[in-house]
Structure 1
Amino acid sequence: MTRIRAILAALAVILATPAAADVELSFYLGSQSSPHSRLTGSADFGGVPTAIDRLIKWEGRSFQTPPYYGLKALYWQDNGWGYGVEMTHAKVYASATDLAALGFDKLEFTDGHNILTANLSRRWDGQWWDGRLTPFVTGGLGLAMPHVDAQPTGEARTYGYQVTGPAMRLGAGVSMAINERWDAFAEYQFTYSVNTFDLDSGGQLETNIITNAINFGLTYGF
């Protein structure tokens, strides 16, 4: 919770910057996937701890409710460097084959697999297409706070938010000026997070989640 308060405090500072400053608020949607990752730990079945060790095939399902999306705020300096905060609402579902093999009815982070980071960014203003296109890169460090939805068959359901571990993101893209205030942008974004989460039925599981996403969004600057 200390880390969450720090990120929210940083956002408050950014939003409190005078209007003359170069501040941007962005919203994006996109298509997000997640490669396989190994799930380890233990889960209780009938009060008996059972070891878990399996490579899980994750599904993104970006456009199913709740959808994949993200929000970010950035304060840009005149030298092309910027800093801010970002929250990505990613999603991962264990495949039906993996659920059956594990003896689980549910295993997913879908509301969502939330990644919160403090970001450092670099842009090169008006480098392409007669000054209308601006390339940029972003990196960030923070934490994962997924909504854990997991249920061993016949056991109690785990359903709620947990702070599960550190996270990072890397991204690169290009923005296009629409008018003086609005830009459209497209970017590729990669996230990596370490996730250790507790089961209400007993036990603890761990997995490292990677996401790959193509994002399309709008930015309002002031």
Structure 2
Amino acid sequence: MIRHLLACASVASSVVFLSAAPAVAEFELGVYSGIQTAPHSRITGELPSGAEFDELIGWEGRSFQMPPYYGLRGTWWTSETLGFGLEFTHSKVYAPEDEAEAAGFDNLEFTDGINILTINVMRRWPDLWADGALTPYVGGGIGVAIPHVDADPTNGDDTFEYQFTGPALRLTAGMSYDLSERVGVFGEYQFTHSRNEAELEDGGNLETNINTNALNFGINLKF
């Protein structure tokens, strides 16, 4: 858990460092959690034994089990409506035991994160309502998947490590509400897609495309 928070802090620091922009701009740091799910996807590959597998997995999200689902987003609003930034999301998926066994695994999960890191572009509409406190926004980003691969073949050594596995993207739409000039809250829907090509211990590989759907609730701090 601590290493995830350190990673998030690093992301936020990078945003601040890279944002050497005019003083009239606004930096916004958002922290969120919520309910995250993932639809079925197919896993394919080769076990260390040489046996090939191709199985449809009904991933489980289990958002509130440790380690929990969470995210951190830093946005530099260069104008009233346009922003750029970085976002880190620690989402996760578990393969049901029977489906993992059908593919040749005693256990298969990405629960120290299908960690998604993206560069975002954001658009908001602060004057859509008269008082300006409730602001709709949308955003999108591209980046990389850095999952913690936890794959335990029935005949073979456990793979238990972080890997760069492929490209990722995210789409977001939500509403924020200002409690003060410095603090706000928000709710949003977020979709992520990641292509994962993992290497297994002692040879073999695993490929799967994972989509997540999430309802996020969080706090924004403005600087």
What RMSD over aligned residues (CA atoms) do the two structures have, in Å? 1.9
CA distance in 1, matches of 2:16, 2:125: 26
Answer whether contact 1:149 1:160 (CA < 8 A) is retained.
yes
- Which has the larger displacement, 27-36 or 14-23? 14-23
Q: Compute the displacement of 1:102 (Å).
A: 1.7
TM-score w.r.t. length of structure 2:
0.90
Which residue of structure 2 aligns with residue 65 of structure 1? 66
Matches within 5 A, 1:1-222: 11-14=15-18, 21-45=25-49, 49-128=50-129, 130-222=131-223
Contact between 2:116 and 2:145, CA under 8 Å: does it hold in 1?
yes
- SS of the residue corresponding to residue 174 of structure 2 reads strand
Give the SS at the match of 2:47. Answer: strand
For residues 8 and 186 of structure 1, do their structure 2 counterparts lie closer, same or farther at Cα, with a shift above 3 Å needed? closer
Given that residues 10 and 84 in structure 1 are in contact (C-alpha distance below 8 angstroms), is that contact kept between their aligned partners in structure 2? no
Query: 2:176 aligns to what SS in structure 1?
Result: strand
* In structure 2, C-alpha distance between the alignment counterparts of 1:59 and 1:176, rounded to whole Å: 31
Conservation of the 8 A alpha-carbon contact between 1:134 and 1:175:
yes
Deviations 1:19-67 (A, max 9, x none): 653100010001000000011111123xxx0111111110000000000
Deviations 1:112-142 (A, max 9, x none): 1100000000000042373210000010000
Instruction: Tell me if structure 1 keeps the 8 A contact 2:45–2:52.
Output: yes
Conserved 8 A contact 1:14-1:74: no
Give the 3 Å change call, closer, same or farther, for CA 14–174 of structure 1 in structure 2.
Answer: farther
Tell me the secondary structure at the aligned position of residue 125 of structure 1: coil
Matches of 2:195 and 2:180, distance apart in 1: 40
- Residues 201 and 151 of structure 1, relative CA distance in 2, 3 Å threshold: farther
Write the distance in 1 (CA, Å) between the matches of 2:66 and 2:100: 21
TM norm structure 1: 0.91
Q: How many residues align?
A: 214
Distance in structure 2 (CA, Å) of the matches to 1:57 and 1:36: 4
Cα displacement string for residues 147-197 of structure 1 (whole angstroms, at most 9, x for unaligned residues)? 000010142110010000000000100000001100100000000010000
Give the aligned partner of residue 4 of structure 2.
Answer: none
Partners of 1:121 and 1:140 in 2: CA distance? 9
Q: Which is further off, 36-45 or 160-169?
A: 36-45
User: Hey, what's the Cα distance between the residues in 1 that align with 2:107 and 2:168?
Assistant: 24
Q: Which runs of no fewer than 5 residues in structure 2 stay unpaired?
A: 1-6
Q: Partner of 1:44: helix, strand, or coil?
A: coil
The one-letter amino acid paired with 2:125 is: W
Higher mean alpha-carbon deviation, 105-114 vs 83-92, is at: 105-114
Q: d(CA) in 2 for partners of 1:66 and 1:119?
A: 25
Describe the shift of the 1:186–1:9 C-alpha distance in structure 2 as closer, same or farther (beyond 3 A): closer
Cα 1:219/1:8, change in 2 over 3 Å = closer
Could you say if the C-alpha distance between residues 58 and 146 of structure 1 is closer, same or farther in structure 2, counting changes exceeding 3 Å? same
Q: Percent same amino acid among aligned pairs?
A: 53
How far 1:144 sits from its partner (Å)?
Answer: 0.2
